[in-house]
Amino acid sequence: MEGLGLAVEGGVLRITFDRPDRLNSLGAELIHAAAEAVENAAADGVRLIVLTGTGRAFSSGADVSPDGSPPGLDTLDAANRFVRAVTSCPVVCLAAVNGIAAGVGCSFALAADITVAKESAAFMLAFTKIGLMPDGGASLLVPASVGRARAARMALLAEKVDARTAAEWGLIAFVTPDEEFDGVVEDLVARLSAGAPLALAATKQVLNATTLPLLDVALTAERDGQGALLASSDFQEGMAAFQQKRAAVFAGR
């Protein structure tokens, strides 16, 4: 479909967010299509899933339509489906982060089993800047990797974390110079796709069972909290400030 590349070759499913003019922002329809591809991967004989983006971004997060309409719970529900698909799929998922991964784009990058990023890439939970809270499982995926203090720093302050810092924190597995990125990704693709499928699936299952046992709880809590915030005046102000490129003035209502 337009905006999403889906290709299978040599047992490798490559899912590419392909809206470079919009920094690969994601709407519900596109996310559902990506989730369906992940859900069908094992039955289709796929041995590895690679998730990446086109252009300067991995994904800048949920899409804001050209008329300024904000994303809603349909996008969040699609995002939750995608995260559940990636984490429950027996096929290993490699996220190749080619640029900024913000908002739910950050959540998707961290839901993968192994995440490798260009040195110029960065990760950001930008939700509070527009009066929202982290979603897509970020409230669990981030602290499971870096601990509560660093997760709070990312989520509450909405700080951008460069790829090298992300690797030092343990947020991602690998960081590589930009010019070496494609080669490193393909080396990982070759190693993982040639691995023992049953052993990799069992390893992934136990790692997620022990580190993400409350993922469904987090996704449900995020949906409840985000639903209330989407109806708030603060969110309306946050979106207006974002579109007008000014600082938001939040009133707490």
Residue 204 one-letter amino acid:
K
- Whether 163 shows a pLDDT value over 60: the answer reads yes
Residue 70 confidence (pLDDT): 67
Query: At the topology level of CATH, where does 4-178 sit?
Result: 2-enoyl-CoA Hydratase; Chain A, domain 1 (3.90.226)
The mean pLDDT of 95-105, rounded to a whole number, is 98
Residue 59 confidence (pLDDT): 98
Per-residue pLDDT tens digits for 227-245: 999 999 999 999 999 889 9
Residues facing 10 on adjacent strands = none
Residue appearing with tokens 């969110």: 235
What is the value of pTM for the model shown?
Answer: 0.96
Closest CA to 129 of 220, 209, 245, 13: 245
Q: How far apart are CA 76 and CA 104, in angstroms?
A: 9
Q: How far apart are CA 5 and CA 37, in angstroms?
A: 11
Per-residue pLDDT tens digits for 20-35: 999 999 999 999 999 9
The torsion defined by the Cα of 203, 208, 213 and 217, in degrees rounded to 10, comes to -150
Q: How far apart are CA 86 and CA 39, in angstroms?
A: 8
- Residue by residue, DSSP assigns the chain as -TTEEEEEETTEEEEEE--GGGTT-B-HHHHHHHHHHHHTTTTTT--EEEEEESTTEEE--B---TT-PPP-HHHHHHHHHHHHHHHH-SS-EEEEE-SEEETHHHHHHHHSSEEEEETT-EEE--GGGGT----TTHHHHHHHHH-HHHHHHHHHH---EEHHHHHHHTSSSEEE-GGGHHHHHHHHHHHHHTS-HHHHHHHHHHHHHHH-TTHHHHHHHHHHHHHHHHTSHHHHHHHHHHHHTS-------
Q: Which two tokens stand for residue 159?
A: 């700080």
Confidence tier at 68 by pLDDT (50, 70, 90): low
Neighbouring C-beta atoms of residue 187, cutoff 10 Å? 12
Q: How do the domains of the chain map onto residue ranges?
A: 4-178
- Whether 132 shows a pLDDT value over 90: the answer reads yes
Burial 5-31 (b: 16+ CB within 10 A, else e): eeeeeeebbbbbbbbeebbbbbbbbbb
Q: Which phi and psi (to 5°) does residue 211 adopt?
A: -105, -25
